[in-house]
């Protein structure tokens, strides 16, 4: 069986067990999903490496490959956070809800990848404009930045649903859910910045201009500005907590539109124009 498909199935398994922990918190219901999610991330990693070796280039050149890397980044950052904050909500309903939300968002992106047409999933020789190290850095940094946005949104969703109740400040020395949301956005923002900068360098190398204000570039800038706003408002009194969590969730909707919605809209407009409607 294809390793990427194995990773996808393992991701569903991790989500199912984690979701069970939302209703019946238990230590094993927190530990097992992490183990399964780690196996899913490993399968995705090996599958992406195998695809890259087969293609003779980094698996970062079309929407199918980017979606896989996007899901891979969400999962990887989630697992890194479980190690970094292993003492935070180690067991409990909120921890399971956060894990379930993050895994669900990773699956949403993975589903997009696996539903791509066969011609998008096929391996083709690279066009000359794509044979650039700047493109590789640009796409990889975008996948990591978007992955951090996905993890932040997964942390924020239970916070939004919980409303104004205290999130996770019960024990001394434990980071609050709000602080983890803020730190995840702060960690991902430099990757979004790097993506825009290296994309501009690649555009200059490929087409002789750094910026062209095409829809994809414009929405990349809108996404960057949205998270800049989030980082600014976290220090403004009255915006921390539930309001900031809502902005983080909306920010990921912006990310998803820039990633999947905008190309669909552009393609639809072009087809409409072509047929004279």
How much is the pLDDT for 273?
A: 65
Mean pLDDT of 146-168: 82
Residue 34 has pLDDT above 50, yes or no: yes
Burial 228-262 (b: 16+ CB within 10 A, else e): eebeebbeeeeebbbebbebbbebbebbbbbbbeb
pLDDT band of 271, cuts 50, 70, 90: low
Residue 105 has pLDDT above 60, yes or no: yes
Q: Which distant-in-sequence residues (6+ apart) come within 8 Å of 158 by Cβ? A: 94, 97, 98, 101, 177
Residue 51 has pLDDT above 60, yes or no: yes
pTM, two decimal places: 0.88
Instruction: Calculate the average pLDDT of the chain.
Output: 84
Helix (H, G, I), strand (E, B) or coil at 131: coil
Residue 4 has pLDDT above 80, yes or no: yes
């Amino acid at each position: 069986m294809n390793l990427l498909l194995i990773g996808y199935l393992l991701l569903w398994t991790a989500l199912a067990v984690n979701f069970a922990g939302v209703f019946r918190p238990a230590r094993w219901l927190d530990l097992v999903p992490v183990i399964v999610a780690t196996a899913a991330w490993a399968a995705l990693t090996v599958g992406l490496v195998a695809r890259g070796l087969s293609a003779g280039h980094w698996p970062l050149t079309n929407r199918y490959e980017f979606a896989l890397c996007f899901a891979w980044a969400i999962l990887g950052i989630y697992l890194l956070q479980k190690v970094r904050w292993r003492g935070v909500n180690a067991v409990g309903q909120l921890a399971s809800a956060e894990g379930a939300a993050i895994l669900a968002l990773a699956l949403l992106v993975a589903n997009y990848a696996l539903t791509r047409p066969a011609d998008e999933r096929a391996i083709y020789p690279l066009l000359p404009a794509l044979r650039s190290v700047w493109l590789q850095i640009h796409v990889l940094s975008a996948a990591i930045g978007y992955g951090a946005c996905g993890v932040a949104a997964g942390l924020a969703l239970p916070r939004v649903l919980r409303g104004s109740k205290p999130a996770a400040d019960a024990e001394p020395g434990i980071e609050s859910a709000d602080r983890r949301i803020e730190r995840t956005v702060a960690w991902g923002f430099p990757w979004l910045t790097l993506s825009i900068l290296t994309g501009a360098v690649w555009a200059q190398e490929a087409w002789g201009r750094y910026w062209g204000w095409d829809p994809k570039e414009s929405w990349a800038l809108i996404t960057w500005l949205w998270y800049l706003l989030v980082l600014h408002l976290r220090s403004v009194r009255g915006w921390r907590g539930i309001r900031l969590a809502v902005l983080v969730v909306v920010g990921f909707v912006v990310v998803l539109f820039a990633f999947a919605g905008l190309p669909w809209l552009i393609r639809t407009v072009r087809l409409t124009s072509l047929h004279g409607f």
